[in-house]
Amino acid sequence: MRSDVSFDLPPALEAAAPPEARGLRRDGVRLLVIDRSTGAVQHRNFAELPLLLGPGDLLVANDSRTLPASLSGWTAAGVPLELRLAGRDGERWAGLALGVPAGGDPALVPTDARPPAPELVPGERLSFAGGLRAQVLGRHEEVASMVWLAFDRHGPQLLEALHRAGHPVRYAYVPQRWDLHHYQTVFAAAPGSAEMASAGRPFTVQTLRELRARGVGLATLSLHAGLSTYGDPEVDRGFVPAEPYRVPEATAAAVTRCRAAGGRVIAVGTTVVRALETATDETGRVRAGAGVTRLRIGPLHRLRAVDGLLTGLHEPQASHLDLVLSFVSYEVLQAAYDEALRAGYLWHEFGDVCLIVPGR
């Protein structure tokens, strides 16, 4: 999704390969710290995160596992296409159909510059690597470039076939293909996200040990994220996908205890903010259970469950920034991003991260 808010940032920002490919551990990325109370900015390393939190604080992470959601396939007439899985509704799947440019690596062509996909009418049969097949059920009701599909297998058999046929969704700013394990976090459990819940990527087992030793709590929830772009700026600006989430009883209770004791609830990623804010009523009570959210959070949203946010750095048009503006003002965020640019921070899912947290 795209933001209606304009930031004074360059349109193209440097993207990183995974830290492991640069000779670093996952927690070797940089950490930009913004104090919600004062707007003050610190430059730290992610490995120092346990030193910035303490007893009574609670981290809530998304445990959704990333799917190999990019499928290369063909129509019955042999016309190639890329299909990016964008979510599911029961046994039917929403897929973004993209044309395949002639020659070269299709992923290096920006999504909104890809050639039109072949016309997919109800009943059209698609074939993918490894013998996986699907039938087009019809057009998506809200996004013209998406279709509803039914695959020829379900459950574990479908997941196995997707792992044989698919790859992680990759955008043009990532110059080479990385294996699926690079797109998983230490929290990953149930598969379901079209794209990685990337704020959790820098965590390691060592980080979790040090957080626990500091008395910092950890809880998880699931939100299966859709695609970050649909190849059309107008669609990206207005369309909010329906994303399934689940808040366990233990997580709801942990958030309630933390807030009652005056601790700070820190969301690991914007997906966690959306899930918790959807599950929390006007009185601040967090309801455990499963549901579907289409909540879009912006500067006027009053946060009910979350006090802080750990997140990546994103381009100026991303709707991600609308959500961040529910934590800090436009002026504070612009100043912090100016600092990040001056200091050479790396952007996108394999880049550096930002912690927005109220001072103690």
Q: How far apart are CA 143 and CA 125, in angstroms?
A: 20
CATH class of 70-167: mainly beta
pLDDT at 315: 74
Three-state SS at 261: coil
Write out the two tokens for 177.
């293909």
Pick the closest to residue 13 from 356, 352, 346 (CA basis): 346
Question: What number is the average pLDDT over the span 68-91?
Answer: 96
Three-state SS at 236: helix
Q: Quick one: fold of 19-66+179-357? A: QueA-like (3.40.1780)
Pick the closest to residue 226 from 84, 60, 82, 18 (CA basis): 84
Q: Tens of pLDDT along 103-115?
A: 888 989 989 899 9
The set of residues, in sequence order, having a beta carbon less than 8 Å from that of 157 and lying 6+ positions away, is: none
User: Percent of the chain beyond pLDDT 70?
Assistant: 95
Write out the two tokens for 336.
């912090």
Q: How far apart are CA 160 and CA 185, in angstroms?
A: 20
The set of residues, in sequence order, having a beta carbon less than 8 Å from that of 181 and lying 6+ positions away, is: none
Q: How far apart are CA 15 and CA 25, in angstroms?
A: 17
In the chain, where are the structural domains located?
A: 19-66+179-357, 70-167
**Residue 125: strand pairing partners:** 135
Q: Tens of pLDDT along 92-147?
A: 999 999 999 988 889 899 898 999 999 999 999 999 998 999 999 999 999 999 99
The set of residues, in sequence order, having a beta carbon less than 8 Å from that of 141 and lying 6+ positions away, is: none
Residue 188 phi, psi dihedral angles, 5° rounding:
-60, 130
